[in-house]
Structure 1
Amino acid sequence: MTSTQAARQPIIQRAKRKAERMLGPAGIFFKGFLKHPAMVGAIVPSSNRTIERVLSKVNWEECRLFVEYGPGVGTFCRPVLEKLRRDGRLIVIDTNPDFIEYLQKTIGDSRFIAVHGSASDVEEIVRAHGFENADYVLSGLPFSTLPEGVGPAIMGATHRVLRPGGAFLVYQYTARARDLMGQFFRHIDKGFEPLNVPPCVISWGWKE
């Protein structure tokens, strides 16, 4: 690296940080979509109506551990933390380090844990933070576009990590993920939220 290149790096980094501040969460989210479209699955965060509908079946009084896959810029994180009991924990898992860094900087809640990793490793991640099971797991991952074998691995790990009576909350833009869910969850409640971009298909898979 030349001295000129070295001098340019701090300028580029400052410009990047300034652009991110100007764009805010939407800019971070859009950048994540451009870098990893198969993992993000949408170009804008979910609507408030979608958030409320997805979380509507959660029994918050009994929820000690809530896990989210693909939290993005925290669209669901803040509503979950608002409802979560004081001694509860929210663990979010994302393969995109930009999202994890952003969440660690912007969410100052002692109940919040952001992990850079894969949802397929949820069992190890949950145990590493002192839990045996999760009460609820939330996912907006686009199962239909994940690499081959990854979707079933995540579904299987999620079913194993949930406590009996717990649920896997999935919001997608097609109903195709339900076929995969049906291989692991015998009881699936179905929902739909039209006021979302794009309209959202919701599934709640219950562990018996």
Structure 2
Amino acid sequence: MGIDEWTFDSFSGSGAGTVVAVVGERADEALTAIERMPGVEALAIGDLDPAVGAGRVRASAAPWVVHDADLLAHVAASWIELFDERATLGALEAEVDDALDRFATGRAIMPDYYIVIDPDRTATRWRHGWCGALGRHAPRRIVPASATSGAGSAAGGDPGQALRRALRSLPASRPWPDPDAWLPDLPFAIPDRVGLRD
């Protein structure tokens, strides 16, 4: 189902082609490296208001829209802080409610895929958030992309090449369930254990 096949598998409701969020510590570097990839619009929208970013995604006519916005980052941060005993359950619930409202009103778009650059080099709780708490709801829609092998930047490997490889081999998968069916249960997903018995 990868990018070489030019298929349209968008469950984001965006009106755009397939929407991919690139996350991880080297996501910006990976996104910059694919700016001239044919058929792909690379959008640096991670620092924008989610509604503005959603508008940019919807406006794209490209078959593939790849961006650096993790629309669940505030939810994930509150989830991590809850289990690190730095935040309350109420703070996490407020972030969940805000995210659900953004999705319901179209001010945010759930990507079709998350590509996690160098998950093994990512902080453990964030890796558990992307690959476990989020990934258990549509496991084939979370794609790890290792840039740590081969030649590349001093940080180890080439995140742009890792992203290109991941885009070319995206698996077909059932769509994400509606976020309001699973996001409110996030407080019950325990880091280090999430996804082990699901």
Alignment TM-score, normalising by the size of structure 2: 0.37
TM-score, length-normalised on structure 1? 0.36
Q: Which has the higher strand share?
A: 1
Give 1 or 2 for the bigger CA radius of gyration.
1
Which gives a bigger RCO, structure 1 or 2 (Cα 8 Å, sep 6+)?
Answer: 2
